[in-house]
A and B are shown apart, each in its own frame.
Chain A
Amino acid sequence: MLTQQDLDALLITLQLAGVTTLILLLIGTPFAWWLARSRWRYKFLIEAVVALPLVLPPTVLGFYLLLALAPDGPVGSLVKSMGGDPLPFSFTGLVIGSVFYSLPFVVQPLQNAFRAIGRRPLEVAATLRAAPLDRFFSVAVPLARPGFLTAAVLGFAHTLGEFGVVLMIGGNIPGETQVVSIAIYDHVEALEYGQAHWLAGGLLALSFVMLMAVYALNRRFMVVRL
């Protein structure tokens, strides 16, 4: 069965995935909107940067984040000067790392969904007296609903499986920064296969159920964009 330490790891993982997904939806939505609509000629540079976490080894991402967040790094020194606690080996540090790590999984489905809407529905809304912000919330967001669902589930599920970045910047502090994927690794190292099974199986089932839900709902909306 799950030990207290395993339960802590599970709770931290779910919290981390939840907070990360929320932040990513908040900053990813305007960002994806801009990427979908902008005709800026150097937009491809930004798109390439957003896609980087898809191909980079998480340790590379984690390494640079660790340097940036360290007390003498550019971000770390700023936080220190404002009287904040050091970011590495803290939950906040994990959230920052996860936001970068899962960024493309949220931004890309949103960008595709916004692009698929096209300009026409927004032009129609404008001729029906809707101001720009009103058009966004009353037309673009509802029409992109399948994209939001996909983005949220992919962002959440991808953060659940995070390993390398967490290990680099969060360490492995039980009850504070130890997440499920690292707990599983520890169990296997210690040859505790039974406990590893509980956590690994649980994560497998959770991920499967979430992805199944996305595909099922997408089919109901008659849109598949995964």
Chain B
Amino acid sequence: MTIKARFQLSRGEFDLNVDLQLPAKGVTAIFGPSGCGKTTLLRAIAGLEPQAQGELTVNDQIWQDSRTRLAVHKRPIGYVFQEPSLFEHLSVQKNIEYGMKRSQSAGNPSLSLEEAVELLGIGHLLQRQPYQLSGGEQQRVAIARALAVNPQVLLLDEPMAALDDARKQEILPYLENLHQQLDIPLLYVSHSRDEVARLADYLVMMQAGRTVAEGPLETVFASLEMPLAQGPDAETVIEAVVAGRDGAYDLSYLVFSGGRFAVAGERMPQGKRARLQIQARDVSLTLNRQSDTSILNIFPAQVEALAETSTAQMTVRLRIGKDLILARITRKSAADLNLQPGSQVFAQIKSVAVLA
């Protein structure tokens, strides 16, 4: 089950040229700066770019090739635009039913109104008109409307870009919820690294109409060749499961492939999957395990690779269990500790953020 997309499109100075093979499950983020062509790629997948030439196969069904070209309204997609774009002449309920009815009359199963409404928590808004809703509420309705047609792929074009921070915080839990509850793949266009770190499983990085990297999120974030790992805020993301709690000290324990994290002040149910975000600058390295230290999270690790980040600093990729994390240290420290690929070290992680 994959999505194969190969597209070319020229528009004046801009040139899109991509050849992708994406997993047909989980959240795939298409990530890059403004104008890199990520929205154009998403629109081409939806069939909204008539000039886009190429091939598109979703779960072995051909949507587009040199001979066929499925019209937009015949592609089993859901699409969420950057601005909510609700139909102003219809109530919230009628907006959601618009696609549902058409999907049903074409003989396809659709979600029930209740299911779509419940996923986005908009039951109390059904009788309102779009102009009576806040930006965040409008976007939740737009997502529900796109889901109600029971799509095979949900395409989201920066659904939070037009919202302020408070509204983003209002929508994020719903997006995380979708991630866990839906079986269909989500393609999520974004230029925000935080959103990507929170939501994505698979990452496609784009620049000037090309893809510059793609792969599982953890791998791309930890790839030293990427500008992501070279920047001052290099970070890595690892998956963990809540395994217990120390009530006396208000600590939660989260287990990952390389050990057990202690995280302060987070109360999460046992067994919940969580995503941990670790800044490279919060990771320091020692050759021997320190015992008289205030740092709680110390793991044995193996150096996989090193890269100079500046004349003074290096970025080190470490393997802990099956997971990868980055450490930002000085070149002097790397020389003093004689770090080489293969060196065994201890990673001291000063702080970690629980994303979801």
Contacts and interface: CB of A to CB of B under 8 A. Distances in A.
B102 interface: yes
A138 B85 CA distance: 15
Interface stretch (A100-108, A119-127, A151-159, A176-184): A119-127
Interface string A31-75: 000000000000000000000000000000000000000000000
* A contact patch SS: helix
Contact of A129 (B47, B87, B149): B149
B103 A129 contact: yes
A129 B72 CA distance: 8
B72 A143 contact: no
A128 B89 contact: no
B212 interface: no
Contact of A127 (B72, B88, B106): B72
B73 A131 contact: yes
Contacts of A134: 102
Contacts of B87: 121, 124-125, 139, 143
A106 B2 CA distance: 51
A109 B74 CA distance: 33
Contact of B72 (A126, A138, A139, A145): A126
Interface string B75-101: 001110101010111000000001100
Given A120-B81, A120-B85, A143-B88, A127 B46 contact: yes
A134 B103 CA distance: 13
Contacts of B85: 120-121, 124
Nearest to A118: B85
Interface string B55-70: 0000000000000000
A130 interface: yes
A30 interface: no
21 contacts: A120-B85, A121-B85, A121-B87, A123-B48, A123-B81, A124-B79, A126-B48, A127-B73, A127-B77, A127-B78, A127-B79, A127-B99, A128-B99, A128-B146, A129-B149, A130-B73, A130-B102, A131-B71, A138-B98, A143-B89, A145-B89
Given A126-B73, A128-B99, A134-B102, 8 more contacts: A125-B87, A126-B71, A127-B48, A127-B73, A128-B73, A128-B102, A129-B106, A139-B87
